[in-house]
Amino acid sequence: MERVDVIVIGSGQGGVPFAVDRAKRGDRVVLFDRGRLGGSCVNYGCTPSKTFLAAAHTAGRARHGKTLGVRGDVSVDFGATIDRVRSVVGEWRDGVEKKVAAAGIEVVRAEASFTGERIVTAGGQEFTAPLILIDTGTSPLVPHVPGLAGTPYMTNVTFFDQRVLPKRLLVMGGGYIGLELGQGMARCGCQVHIIDSNARVLAREEADASEALTKGLLADGISLHLSRKATEVKHDGGFEMTLDDGSKLSADALLVATGRVPNTAALQAEKSGIALDKRGYIGIDSRFATSCQGVYAIGDVAGQPAFTHVSWEDHRRLEDILAGGVRTRDDRVLGYSTYTEPQVARVGMTAEEAKQTGRDVRAVTLPLSEIARGIEWDQQNGFFRLVVDGQSEKILGATMVGYETAELVHVILAHMEAGSTWRVLERSVHIHPTFAEGLPSLARLLT
Ligand SMILES: Cc1cc2nc3c(=O)[nH]c(=O)nc-3n(C[C@H](O)[C@H](O)[C@H](O)COP(=O)(O)OP(=O)(O)OC[C@H]3O[C@@H](n4cnc5c(N)ncnc54)[C@H](O)[C@@H]3O)c2cc1C
């Protein structure tokens, strides 16, 4: 067994920068990964999905041009789109490889597991370190549906292996992964069916956000099968899925996007005295510490909000904590977005969540149809909502559904980080005619 300064398990969004920072300080660092360096985001998540959506949404927007008087047939060369996706992913992955090599990190490309307290083994090598970081992320959850196992279904991991557009696609799961990829495929020219057991898509978001998104999905010709479960899947050349109302759907391809499971099974964390929570995620306190001294966990595997920016920011907070600082995992304003069209962007609390904290909550909503830019560009499907504390007047959160709202929601995020009240937003003079101009108008509804 070799003794090193730092062990990092998982080359995810926080693991790599943490390992690089430590190595640059002169620590001897060993990084384990059982897959491709860069983790989910670079290889199977954000990077390929958003590069793919760049083509799909460009096609969707061009078709939308009809309502503006723009004519022309639009088609997507799916093979070329996927080639570009692979090339962009390759560039990012190479970048990670180079960064890790340049920092002098020793990489063990094998599945790591604990064999004792702070002892990690993989690929026939065994190491121990006083500081260990677990950043092993999550994997797709594949539900137990009779017949599904053994069929050539796709998950987000294999989705970008296809190069020929299927004519018909079944998507199990109406969460953000199923919706983004499903809408993307529809915009590439595929006939898409999305099946979800919830009564609405993006069931965790507010009902009117789901409603606006549903309108967008239906406009792309997607068939939604809501409050439905698959009871059987068969594959014989093509897929046939039976739903719980007895109806049957046929398709050439099937994407399973029904949730995520933490990558903890192989870790054997208990051998190092590291407790998991009820759902199998690594249990951490507010300072990322596990139940084993010297072992920390960040990102998706620690049950943190499952986003790249969270895992990345976790590593910065952990660095601060290890240096004696006071940051915790919770002292941040968190935003995220679903990159469908319309986009559904969120920051902070919804009105419902804020009410549950016992606050005096005020919420106002402005439809995009009342914003000049929305009317001029015919982007009227959506709304902006602001949630504020009735006493302190501080902004608590926002929901923004519409065109590129993931960009715009940062205005609210910045106000929240600065601790602004809604009155600061209300008196701001925003540029005409922009979507951002709708934000002071939204705040004005509180006067
Ligand atoms: C299709 C899709 C689209 C997404 N889009 C977005 C988006 O637009 N924006 C956003 O913020 N987030 C997005 N996400 C989520 C984002 O990808 C994750 O939140 C992020 O990658 C989590 O990073 P992480 O550091 O927790 O771990 P990961 O990036 O998941 O990395 C974990 C690493 O650990 C390795 N590993 C696991 N177990 C072991 C083991 N026992 N031994 C050795 N190595 C191990 C894995 O091989 C992997 O490389 C998306 C996810 C998916 C699936």
Mean pLDDT, rounded, for 401-411: 98
Strand partners, 243: 230
Element housing 139 (H / E): strand 138-140
Mean pLDDT, rounded, for 298-307: 97
232-259 per-position pLDDT tens digit: 999 999 999 999 999 999 999 999 999 9
Residue of 272, 311, 261 lying closest to 121 (CA atoms) = 272
CB 442 within 8 A of CB 366: yes
193-207 per-position pLDDT tens digit: 999 999 999 999 999
What atom in ligand 1 is closest to the CA of residue 35? 47
pLDDT at 400: 98
Mean pLDDT, rounded, for 88-116: 98
Residue nearest ligand 1's atom 19 by CA:
307
Please report, rounded to a whole number, the percentage of residues in the chain having pLDDT higher than 70: 100
CA 301 – ligand 1 centroid, Å = 9
pLDDT at 48: 98
CA 137 – ligand 1 centroid, Å = 5
Residue of 393, 399, 377, 381 lying closest to 426 (CA atoms) = 393
pLDDT-derived band at 350 (thresholds 50, 70, 90) equals very high
pLDDT at 76: 98
What's the chain's average pLDDT?
97
CB 39 within 8 A of CB 12: yes
Mean pLDDT, rounded, for 204-214: 98
Q: Helices (H) and strands (E) in the chain — how many of each? A: 12, 23
18-73 per-position pLDDT tens digit: 999 999 999 999 999 999 999 999 999 999 999 999 999 999 999 999 999 999 99
pLDDT at 367: 98
pLDDT at 78: 98
pLDDT at 255: 98
Residue nearest ligand 1's atom 43 by CA:
33
Please report, rounded to a whole number, the percentage of residues in the chain having pLDDT higher than 90: 99
What atom in ligand 1 is closest to the CA of residue 15? 25
Best residue among 31, 136, 288 to mutate for probing ligand 1's pocket (most ligand atoms within 8 Å of CB) is 136
CA 176 – ligand 1 centroid, Å = 15
CB 317 within 8 A of CB 329: yes
Mean pLDDT, rounded, for 114-128: 97
Best residue among 11, 41, 135, 281 to mutate for probing ligand 1's pocket (most ligand atoms within 8 Å of CB) is 41
CA 39 – ligand 1 centroid, Å = 5
pLDDT at 191: 98
Instruction: Tell me, rounded to whole angstroms, the distance of Cα 149 from its chain centroid.
Output: 25
Q: Is the pTM of this model over 0.95?
A: yes
Residues in the ligand 1 pocket, defined by CB under 6 Å: 9-15, 32-35, 39-41, 44-46, 49-50, 111-112, 135-137, 156, 177, 263, 266-267, 299-301, 306-309, 311, 339
Mean pLDDT, rounded, for 208-228: 98
pLDDT at 419: 97
Mean pLDDT, rounded, for 329-353: 96
Handedness of CA 94, 100, 102, 105 (dihedral sign): negative
pLDDT-derived band at 295 (thresholds 50, 70, 90) equals very high
What atom in ligand 1 is closest to the CA of residue 36? 49
| Pairwise CA distance, residues 305 & 105, whole Å | 28
